[in-house]
Amino acid sequence: MMQMRTHTCGELRLADAGKKVRLAGWMENVREVGGNLAFVVLRDFYGTTQLVIETEELRRAVTELNKESTIAVSGTVRERSSKNPKQPTGDVEVVPDAIEVLGRCRYASLPFEINRSREADETQRLKYRYLDLRNPEVKKNIILRSNVVAALRRAMTEHGFLEITTPILTASSPEGARDYLVPSRKHPGKFYALPQAPQQFKQLLMTSGFDRYFQIAPCFRDEDARGDRSPGEFYQLDMEMAFASQEDVFAVLEDVLPPVFAEYGTYHIASRPPFRRIAYRDALETYGTDKPDLRIDLTAVNVTALFEGTEFAPFAGQTVRAVAVSGCALTRKQIEKLLADCEVQSGEKGYWFKVDESGALAGGVAKFVEREKAETLLPLAPNTLVLLAAGPQSVKNVGVMIKIFGRECPGHMDKERYEFCWIVDFPMYEIGEESGELEFCHNPFSMPKGGLETLLAAERGEIDPLSVTADQYDLVCNGVELSSGAVRNHDPEIMVKAFELVRLGEEDVKAKFPAMYNAFCYGAPPHAGIAPGVDRMVMLLAGEESIREIIPFPMNKNAQDVMMGAPSEVLPKQLEELHIAVTKQEEE
């Protein structure tokens, strides 16, 4: 028994009738029904209990309070005459004999109704997040997050991983996004950086002789928000294994994640191991994305041969891809509307034709399609819709088409399940959009397939550097990238050669990654790892569209904490201590 209360507001049942109890919580609602009779809904973390006020003194006490005041109630439990089967405590009510005000709400009106806060403007919700979190529907996502993190910790420990925390203040390092910088007071003109990921530290732990490391790691990246990415701060299940291959990493996650998803997910079916493996280039060709949603059965086909010599200008001389949607009953108007939605997302116009009930081609670009030729490339059963995309962005366009039409056309998406897959064999290098020169495509710490010999062959011009693949992999679930990982490049000679291909020499590697380069020179074990995003994982489990719904105190889309007023200006004295001067751009 706690001093403030004997029971919680979600605890009392019919067996408790006749007991003297003390409850505490927020006064959610007051309903007067005449005379001295009033009904009060009392809410705490655990649930709600109905109070029945039957004296003038207590009725006056509660009606003078604003909703959301916190009170403590002493009284007797009794069976309700009108039960509420939808409420766990709906068989009983408490008749108070004393009410104590613990925390008075001083505002007669609230920014939003607590139990309908999710319908409020997001800015209001974030500004008054402490009120938003009182909503049981909002709170349950935070509880889910806690349970999932605890389950992940248990599973990783059971698999022999040691939880180790790595530094938050560290050195700036090229991880693919902008750093958050922290000025040093003791070292004028120098800065710490908040870690974009514990990448170097976890690799250093492997060189230090730790065999299996993990942590629920905070990561910081100054990047723009989107539905599945929070600006500023996020968390990941960071792990690394010594003397390990790609297969070892896959085996651990394929054992750890499905039970968590099956137990805590909105859907209770999750892929069984081994997860499907799809090469990066095959994923683009087949699904139009490296993040395929395997719950959708639609795929893309290259039909360029179908339009050789075509008179249809948008397809002339272009690569053309198609998606065949069988059993499609959409009208012309519905098809055009969905294609317009696709264009908004992909930036490219899409086209179509349909096979009618008689088997004839009709609608859209049908007059430019030779049926006999089309039948060799596409399934053309009656009521099949064929979506088409052409040009440099055709891969992205068909990917968007698969996603949108797969969801809208019945029978093509088994929504209520979690489908995992591994995307493997990522390219090591790419041509930079801005530089026009060879750059690392993803993680520069990945081991190239074939090791040093492959890099030397690329250097000698015997193979195209763009054909070099890395022992890198992504874990994807329901079209959401949960994580990237890789077999690490643990050999200083291979590391230097990998950087030389992007015009950086040994001295550059030493300067950018001094600790890791030097540690590897003392004999590093082969090692591999991955880091699934906790926020994205919980978002999928909760069935939410926005990642902000599962973060206790999220920033808004502009990376602002409107509740705390961050980022904010600081005192001139603080800037002086840090040897910083703030300059404002002159207005034109």
Higher pLDDT, 228 or 382: 382
Least confident of 96-100, 222-226, 253-257, 356-360: 222-226
Tell me which architecture the domain covering 137-273+530-573 has in CATH: 2-Layer Sandwich (3.30)
Domain boundaries along the sequence of the chain:
14-103, 137-273+530-573, 296-408, 420-524
Statement: residue 563 has pLDDT above 90: yes
Statement: residue 270 has pLDDT above 50: yes
Statement: residue 586 has pLDDT above 70: no
Q: For residues 46 and 11, is the Cβ–Cβ distance under 8 A?
A: yes
Q: What percent of the chain has pLDDT over 70?
A: 98
Packing angle between helix 492-500 and helix 451-459, nearest 10 degrees?
A: 30
Which helix (H) or strand (E) covers residue 105, if one does?
A: none
For residue 259, give both structure tokens.
Answer: 């039970």
Q: For residues 428 and 468, is the Cβ–Cβ distance under 8 A?
A: yes
Q: What is the pLDDT of residue 232?
A: 86
* Average pLDDT across the chain, whole number: 94
Statement: residue 493 has pLDDT above 50: yes
Q: What is the mean pLDDT of residues 85-105?
A: 96
Report the 10 Å Cβ neighbour count for 294: 20
CA distances from 539 to 39, 265, 482, 534 (A): 37, 10, 11, 8
What pLDDT band is residue 588 in, cutting at 50, 70 and 90?
very low
Are 137-273+530-573 and 296-408 in the same CATH fold? no
Statement: residue 231 has pLDDT above 90: no
Tell me: domain 14-103, CATH 2.40.50.140, correct? yes
Least confident of 2-6, 198-202, 253-257, 383-387: 2-6
DSSP string, 443-459: -TTBPBTTHHHHHHHHH
What pLDDT band is residue 2 in, cutting at 50, 70 and 90?
low
Question: Domain 296-408 class?
Answer: alpha beta
Taking Cα atoms as reference points, which of 142, 191, 148 lies closest to residue 170?
191
Statement: residue 175 has pLDDT above 60: no
pLDDT per position as a tens digit, 336-394: 999 999 999 999 999 999 999 988 999 999 999 999 999 999 999 999 999 999 988 89
Taking the C-alpha atoms of residue 312 and residue 40, their distance in angstroms, rounded to an integer, is: 71
